Amino acid sequence: MYETRSFSGMNCTMAFAAGALVGSIVAILTAPRTGRETRDALNTWTRDISDKASRLPRAVRQAVDRGREAGRQAFTETYNEQH
């Protein structure tokens, strides 16, 4: 018996992100650079990732707030059209 599994958009996104992360790490570690250049590249990369990660919670919060407001407006408009 075969079991069918479907992947949600979030699963696919997470799998893609994990693959991109692993690929980036392998590329950095196997690039033809000196140890010093590799360490500098890793430091720059980690600072960039840290900066982006620190902005993520606020961006998610804003997106959720906008989605909530759009949902309220859509519900109100639909409800008012029916009455």
Top-confidence residue, 48 or 2: 48
DSSP per-residue string spanning 55-72: HHHHHHHHHHHHHHHHHH
- In the structure, what pLDDT confidence band is assigned to residue 72 with cuts at 50, 70 and 90? very high
User: Is 4 part of a structural domain of the chain?
Assistant: no
Domain tally, the chain = 1
Q: Where are the strands (E) in the chain, listed by range? A: none
- Buried b or exposed e, range 31-43, using 16+ CB within 10 angstroms: eeeeeeeeeeeee
Q: Whole-angstrom Cα distance, residue 17 to residue 8?
A: 14
Query: Quick one: average pLDDT of 67-75?
Result: 94
Top-confidence residue, 83 or 10: 10
User: Is 1 part of a structural domain of the chain?
Assistant: no
Question: Which pLDDT tens digit goes with each residue over 4-61?
Answer: 566 677 788 888 889 998 998 888 778 788 888 888 888 998 899 889 889 888 999 9
